[in-house]
């Protein structure tokens, strides 16, 4: 556990603002069910399927549900047999299971920086040590492969990557994936790739790069993570998955170990597994609405930034977030507190995501467009009014 469980100063200031009844325009909203996305009213009716009345647990998940996930990978052009799919209650749980299966207490996993802040807690809760490797920005993001290799130690058990990454929005490119896979295969360690945002490219698909797909890896033991939380915007259903790639003997051994761990918890409910094939179909319009929302907000952000000469939107390939480089007048912390207390705008500072230097702000592209427009304009106006 972390020693200090008290809320950080931004959370504390937000609590005060809400208690005082002040209106807060939230540019950190990452919960799709609270972002004004239209959900069909009967979307969850497959959960009432009578087959959900029978409890006949399968540790790795019900066969039809695993096949539905395999079909969903096929939708994105990746072939994975259903036998290589494992169901979990969430991506967070998938990480926890993988840490148990791959690591002993005190072992290390490499994590990207900047990246998803929850890694710090997820690793710690499973007694695993997170060792960072850097992503570099030169107009686009790339992995510093030399730094990644240097970060490996005899205690490293896995390399974690997020593709597209939160919050940089960068995909793992085919060559990067191949290079990391070679490093992992040579050392007999695993590669874990979180692909929860893979369905949300922010451009029109004309980029000149090929995206690497972890589940298609053949050399190293590889785990691709996904789930309903992002794929169809339903985090409350608590269903995620792991797709395994790599040499058959390593995959078979990992499946045995995962089965043992999953069998101890049996955490995925039967009704959601029964409903899964239909939920993946019925959720497609929600995915479409979320996609449209993030693309619209991202375009608007770029247009507003072009008018605000002191701020620059970093190149973002995909996902639900965008990063804005802003001038440094004081610390990021003082800026976000000032934006909250003076203008009622809630935005995340780059340091929450471990950016190497200041000043960056991270905005959620899920934000309802009217709030997004007001919030971003206010931030840009605030910064351009600085002496």
Kindly indicate which of the ranges 85-93, 214-222, 366-374, 377-385 contains the residues binding ligand PLP, using the contact rule CB under 6 A. 85-93
The residue written with tokens 């990452």 in the block is 30
61 binds ligand PLP (CB under 6 A): no
Question: Which residue number, 94 or 185, has a Cβ lying nearer to ligand PLP?
Answer: 94
From the CB of 137, what's the least distance to ligand PLP, in Å?
18
Name the one range near ligand PLP by CB under 6 A: 49-57, 207-215, 227-235, 339-347: 227-235
C-alpha–C-alpha distance, residues 234 and 236, integer Å: 5
- Residue (of 112, 122, 228) closest to 170 by Cα position: 112
Tokens of 95: 């990480």
* Distance in angstroms (rounded) separating the CA atoms of residues 258 and 263: 8
Q: Which of 35, 62, 82, 196 binds ligand PLP (CB under 6 A)?
A: 196
Among 107, 126, 194, 332, binds ligand PLP (CB under 6 A): 194
Only segment of 5-13, 56-64, 84-92, 122-130 that touches ligand PLP (CB under 6 A): 84-92
Closest-CA residue to 159 (of 174, 175, 173, 145):
145
Q: How many helices (H) and strands (E) does the chain have?
A: 12, 14
Site mask for ligand PLP (CB under 6 A), range 249-288, x = bound: ----------------------------------------
- Answer yes or no whether residue 25 interacts with ligand PLP by CB under 6 A: no
Minimal distance, residue 91 CB to ligand PLP, in Å = 3
The Cα 317–Cα 50 span in angstroms is: 42
246 near ligand PLP (CB under 6 A)? no
SS3 sequence of 333-384: HHHHHHHHHHHCEECEEHHHHCCCCCCEEEEECCCCHHHHHHHHHHHHHHHH
Asked whether position 92 contacts ligand PLP by CB under 6 A, the answer is yes
What are the percentages of helix, strand and coil residues in the chain, rounded to 5? 45, 20, 35
* 318 is a site residue for ligand PLP (CB under 6 A): no
Alpha-carbon gap, residue 291 to 31, rounded angstroms: 14
Q: How far is the CB of 31 from ligand PLP (least distance, A)?
A: 9
Binding mask 141-180 for ligand PLP (x = CB under 6 A): ---------------------x---x--------------
Burial class (CB in 10 A: 0-12, 13-18, 19+), 7: exposed
Stretch of residues binding ligand PLP (CB under 6 A), selected from 59-67, 90-98, 148-156, 295-303? 90-98
- Rg of the chain, C-alpha, whole Å: 21
What's the closest the beta carbon of residue 94 comes to ligand PLP, in angstroms?
8
Cα 306 to the center of its chain, rounded Å:
28
Contacts of ligand PLP in 26-55 (CB under 6 A): 30
Of the candidates 163, 134, 170, which has an alpha carbon nearest to the alpha carbon of residue 150? 134
Q: How far apart are CA 138 and CA 140, in angstroms?
A: 5
**Total residues binding ligand PLP (CB under 6 A):** 13
- For ligand PLP, the closer of residues 30 and 123 by Cβ is 30
DSSP class of 235: G
229 binds ligand PLP (CB under 6 A): yes
Footprint (CB under 6 A) of ligand PLP, residues 346-385: none
Residue range at the interface with ligand PLP (CB under 6 A); choices 88-96, 127-135, 143-151, 205-213: 88-96
Asked if 240 is part of the footprint of ligand PLP (rule: CB under 6 A), the reply reads yes
Q: Which of residues 102-121 bind ligand PLP (CB under 6 A)?
A: 116
The answer to whether 180 and 268 are in contact (CB under 8 A) is: no
Residues interacting with ligand PLP, by CB under 6 A? Answer: 30, 90-92, 116, 162, 166, 194, 196, 227, 229, 235, 240
């Amino acid at each position: 556990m972390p020693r200090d469980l008290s809320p950080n100063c931004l959370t504390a200031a937000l609590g005060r603002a809400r208690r005082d009844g002040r209106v807060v325009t939230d540019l950190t909203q990452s919960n799709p069910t609270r972002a004004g996305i239209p959900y069909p009213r009967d979307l969850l009716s497959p959960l009432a399927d009578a087959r959900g009345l029978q409890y006949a647990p399968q540790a790795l998940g019900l066969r039809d549900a695993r096949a539905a996930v395999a079909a969903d990978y096929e939708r994105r052009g990746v072939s994975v047999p259903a036998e290589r799919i494992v169901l979990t209650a969430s991506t967070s749980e998938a990480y926890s299971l993988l840490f148990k299966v791959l690591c002993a207490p005190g072992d290390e996993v490499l994590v990207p920086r900047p990246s998803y802040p929850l890694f710090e807690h997820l690793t710690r809760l499973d007694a695993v040590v997170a060792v960072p490797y850097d992503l570099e920005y030169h107009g686009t993001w790339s992995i510093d492969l030399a730094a990644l290799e240097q970060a490996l130690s005899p205690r490293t058990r896995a390399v974690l990557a997020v593709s597209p990454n939160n919050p940089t929005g960068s995909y793992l490119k085919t060559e990067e994936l191949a290079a990391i896979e070679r490093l992992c295969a040579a050392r007999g360690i695993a590669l874990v790739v979180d692909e929860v945002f893979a369905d949300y490219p922010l451009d029109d698909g004309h980029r000149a790069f090929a995206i690497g797909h972890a589940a298609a890896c053949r050399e190293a033991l590889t785990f691709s993570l996904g789930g309903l939380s992002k794929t169809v915007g339903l985090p409350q259903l608590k269903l995620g998955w792991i797709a395994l790639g790599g040499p058959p003997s390593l995959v078979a051994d990992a499946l045995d170990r995962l089965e043992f761990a999953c069998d101890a918890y049996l955490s995925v409910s039967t009704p959601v597994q029964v409903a899964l094939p239909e939920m993946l179909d019925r959720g497609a319009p929600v995915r479409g609405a979320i996609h449209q929302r993030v693309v619209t907000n991202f375009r608007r952000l770029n247009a507003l930034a072009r008018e605000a000469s002191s701020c620059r939107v970093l190149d973002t390939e995909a996902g639900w977030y965008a990063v804005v480089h802003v001038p440094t007048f004081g610390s990021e912390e003082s800026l976000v507190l000032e934006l909250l207390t003076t203008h009622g705008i809630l935005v995340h500072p780059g340091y929450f995501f471990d950016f190497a230097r200041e000043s960056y702000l991270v905005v959620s592209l899920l934000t309802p467009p009217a709030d997004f427009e007001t919030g971003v304009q206010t931030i840009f106006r605030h910064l351009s009014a600085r002496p």
